Amino acid sequence: MAVTITGFEVKDIRFPTSLTGAGTDAMNVDCDYSAAYVALHTSSSLSGYGMTFTIGRGTEVVCQAIELVVQRVLGKEVEELFADMGKTWTMLIGDSQLRWIGPEKGVIHIATAAVDNALWDMYARSRHKPLWKLVADFTPEEFVRSTAFRYITDVLTPEEALQMLKSKEAGKKDREKLVRDIGYPAYITSAGWLMYDDEQVARLTKEAIGRGFNHFKMKVGADFSNDLRRAKLIRSIIDDPANLAPGKQIDPASIAGKNAGPTGSVLMMDANQVWDVQEAIDYVTKLAETKPWFIEEPTAPDDILGHAAIRRTLKPLGIGVATGEHAHNRMVFKQLLQAEAIDVCQIDSCRLAGVTEILGVLLMAAKFGIIVCPHAGGVGLCEHALHLSLIDYLCVSGTMERNVLEYADHLHQHFINPVTLNSNGRYNVPNDPEAGYSTHMKDASFEEFGFPNGAYWRSVAEGNPKEVEL
């Protein structure tokens, strides 16, 4: 008997990370890392779990939008959905009245991400493979059928994508063995949140070096003198040979063109959209002595030509431009690439409308020769993004030589299949055949942090907040 989608649950979960300063930056000073979460259930024991990342208030609005989008898949046979995920995605965004309140951006789009992510999670679970392995085992034709191409065919046609994928087939098994052996390269953000004091920044940076990291990102943009001091502090630690992890070997190719210091360590900066274009140019130019590899989100995420102007001006200083975590659809990425506006493409697994849309962005970035380093500084984003980086490496770009995937230390314990790192500061490859997209959260986490009725939030409403460990 055919398996059909019979029901769903939508949940709002919020973690009070604003209490610790985790996640703070120049634009977002009181982040409570949160998620709008959906579980899809079927006529069998098969379920799928998806989410989209938020930072507190407004999550209830996304949950309401998910309840509308998910109606599109109720009663559908799962194998028909899985057979053509590109067609399924088009159906998900195809309600003209819901599309009107985007179109393909904003709340309705990130709600669609949660549903599409849940479908992909279900698909992988149905085949008893982690998501990255499900896609890596696709034929090129299956990969193309699973990709959203509408509005990007002026840059990349399905036929061109098929040839790109076929060209990477020969070395796929060798690449899979390599990444299983050594892990996927990571960089750390957790040491550089804006509200951390110097003592905490120094301690966390040294700890990160000891864990094998050699790429470090800090938040900037609130106060120049503070930023310069903190950048010099981080540089003094990561450039000091005495702080190197014993026996640490760095591949010169992995840091080529990244403004690396004498120990091979790389510093990155993230402004989280606070500047106008000329302001960004002037501010980062004054920070150039600290030799950042790139400035992330230097201006409004929709300003394609502004990013291009910033990139042109900063390029002689050896400083690149990265953006994408707030690029709300594949068309924005298409234009960023066409305008030569970025050096690093930063897809977000919950801002774009799920895996299906992301596959097209991976293909476009590979065509333009731009590396993909996903945004993962939020609850569940590391768990998502690792699968996407593995898909990019194995199927699309065929390289992880210069790529690094963001890592933040927070909230992994709330997932049934959390990401882990090896001693060289690299992500371990997920191997659990029942893990799907690694997005299934623990029931106990909802009991504690579900909003507004979880134990923690009830204690806040009663005026006696519980102490929590995040």
Which pair of structure tokens corresponds to residue 220?
């900037």
In three-state secondary structure terms, 391 is helix
The tally of CA atoms less than 13 A away on the side-chain side of residue 266 is 29
CA distance 63 to 37: 7
Of residues 133, 168, 291, 375, which has the active-site annotation?
A: 375
Question: H-helix or E-strand containing 248?
Answer: none
Active site residue 387: no
* Phi and psi torsions of 52, nearest 5°: -135, 145
The radius of gyration of the chain's CA atoms, rounded to the nearest angstrom, is: 21
CA distance 440 to 437: 8
Backbone angle region of 167, left / alpha / beta, with phi > 0 → left and psi within -120 to 50 → alpha: alpha
Of residues 109, 219, 387, 410, which has the active-site annotation?
A: 219
In three-state secondary structure terms, 326 is coil
Active site residue 375: yes
CA distance 188 to 403: 13
Beta bridge partners of 188: 216, 407
Backbone angle region of 291, left / alpha / beta, with phi > 0 → left and psi within -120 to 50 → alpha: left
* Phi and psi torsions of 349, nearest 5°: -70, -15
Which pair of structure tokens corresponds to residue 406?
């963001």
Strands 344-345 and 184-188: unpaired
CA distance 139 to 361: 19
- SS3 letters across 97-159: HHHHCCCCCHHHHHHHHHHHHHHHHHHHHHCCCCHHHHHHCCCHHHHHHCCCCCCCCCCCCHH
Question: How would you label 291-302 residue by residue, b for 16+ Cβ within 10 Å and e otherwise?
Answer: bbbbbbbbbbbe
Give catalytic residue positions.
Answer: 219, 375
